[in-house]
Amino acid sequence: MNRIRTTVALGLVLSAGLVTGCSGGAEPDAKPGGGETGKVTESASASAAPKTPVFQGKPVPGLAAKPAWSLTRDEAGTCAGKASVKDSSQNDICTVGDALILTGYSAGKAGSRTFTVRLLDAGTGKLRKKLDFALPTKSNGYTSSSAVALAQVAEWRDGSPAVLIRHRVDTPPSGLKKASTQTVLTMYTPSGEKLGSSSFDEDTHMSTPVRNGYLVDAGSAGGSTFIPIGDGETVTSEASHVDLKGTVGSGLGYYSQLDISYQPSADWLTAKDVRTGNKAWNSKDLTPPAAIAKLVTSDKATSARLMPFRGDKALLEWSSYGDSEEVMTLIDLKSGRRLAEGPAIDTNGTVDDDGLAISPDGKTAVVQYGKGAVAWNTETGKELWRQAEDEVTIGPGDLPGNGVLYAYLDGVGAALDADDKKLLASEIAEMPQFTTNGYAAIHTSEGLFVFATQPV
């Protein structure tokens, strides 16, 4: 089984014409490939000083006592969704790389509305980029809902954080031309630089998942198509939608398939390159950890599971066939070569409560793949701590490098000491979201509050 273990400026006004008859084609003037379709206003500067709402929550361990900056609820608006999932109803992701992403709507004349996306510097709150999208107007003079404009947090092809804007453009009939609809997908860096843009006929790609800069169109009968946002060639793959649920690595990544044996009994694993479908390695050809190797007999061999870690590294877990106890290893994804051997874990065979948190330097990981969370050093393999049998389930959330593990205890937010799991705070109403440069955002009913992180 594959398992998965997230000062307003006055400025530049860009108007670009529609690209018609496209099926994933990039516009010629985009940077580096493609351009925006429809009328979009981009601006970047500093706005007047915002009001300062008061944070009503309890102090959160690992965060400064006072916010570095804040916005009222009305000023903050809402946040963004997740590009890699088809359901875009959740708009609760407020951080992207070293920036904050905020969205909202403004009303104009005759029922017109504009969808606005703001990228704010995490340290200062100053506006880096403001994107305004005019929403299509219905025949009754009013505009459509958020179904025609979405802001989502994504990754670019190298795995770096990115913003995806989906925008539907309706062109009314004119002369002999009938009315038409196009969907424009544009990706930006957290600083607001355009990465690429593509236009598509109709609105079918308003909900198609986007992973690492590609639209992922996976058919239920098998086979997948990856359409690049901006420049690049469309890639077809033999990987099914089931295979892609377990995809790991940057770019299109790798997926795994079971290589089942009955003599001896084994669930070996074959890792394949999504782009080519070529075999990268098979666990049958790799040496299992010593604790697992000694259990191998002529009748019973090994089982393996592949889970994501970061970049082109992955977690490969080994077990003796039929046993629930596994040994974690960190591997080079392309070759299967072992980089570190970690502690043993006892799994429960489900994926509903899986969790993984990794420190910014990649040296510490907290995993919850079964009957309890385990923290370990991914360089030495040393176990740091383990959840006890009489403790509530620890679901790892974030490990931002300030000495705190932000986790969920039976679903309730909490902060634990990352070195020994000592409870620092419990019942945290709004869990912080972390940027890549040492800040944390908390979005409450009072507003948005951004704190600097600090060591505990």
> Is the pLDDT assigned to residue 27 strictly greater than 60?
no
Q: Tokens representing 234? A: 């469309």
> Is the pLDDT assigned to residue 422 strictly greater than 80?
yes
Q: What are phi and psi of 204, to 5 degrees?
A: -65, -25
Query: At 218, is the pLDDT very low, low, confident or very high (cuts 50, 70, 90)?
Result: confident
Distance between CA 239 and CA 217 in Å, rounded? 11
Where does 274-377 show beta strands of DSSP type E? 279-282, 300-310, 313-320, 325-332, 338-346, 355-358, 364-368, 374-377
Q: What are phi and psi of 156, to 5 degrees?
A: -85, 180
The answer to whether the CB of 148 falls within 8 A of the CB of 167 is: yes
Distance between CA 62 and CA 398 in Å, rounded? 12
Strand partners of residue 105: 115
The strands making up 433-434's β-sheet, listed across from edge to edge, are: 69-72, 447-452, 439-443, 433-434
Percentage of the chain lying above the pLDDT 70 cut: 84
The answer to whether the CB of 448 falls within 8 A of the CB of 441 is: yes
Percentage of the chain lying above the pLDDT 90 cut: 69
Query: At 148, is the pLDDT very low, low, confident or very high (cuts 50, 70, 90)?
Result: confident
Distance between CA 171 and CA 18 in Å, rounded? 9
Query: For 56-104, what is each residue's pLDDT tens digit?
Result: 989 999 999 999 999 999 999 999 999 998 876 789 999 999 999 999 9
More confident residue, 280 or 169: 280
In a 3-state reduction of DSSP, which class is residue 158?
coil
Best mean pLDDT range from 24-38, 49-63, 427-441: 427-441
Query: At 17, is the pLDDT very low, low, confident or very high (cuts 50, 70, 90)?
Result: very low
Query: For 112-121, what is each residue's pLDDT tens digit?
Result: 889 999 999 9
Q: Whole-number mean pLDDT of the chain?
A: 86
> Is the pLDDT assigned to residue 25 strictly greater than 90?
no
DSSP states of 122-150? TTT--EEEEEEEEPPBPTTS-B--GGGEE
Query: For 326-343, what is each residue's pLDDT tens digit?
Result: 999 999 999 999 999 999
> Is the pLDDT assigned to residue 21 strictly greater than 80?
no
Cβ atoms within 10 Å, residue 101: 25
More confident residue, 347 or 22: 347
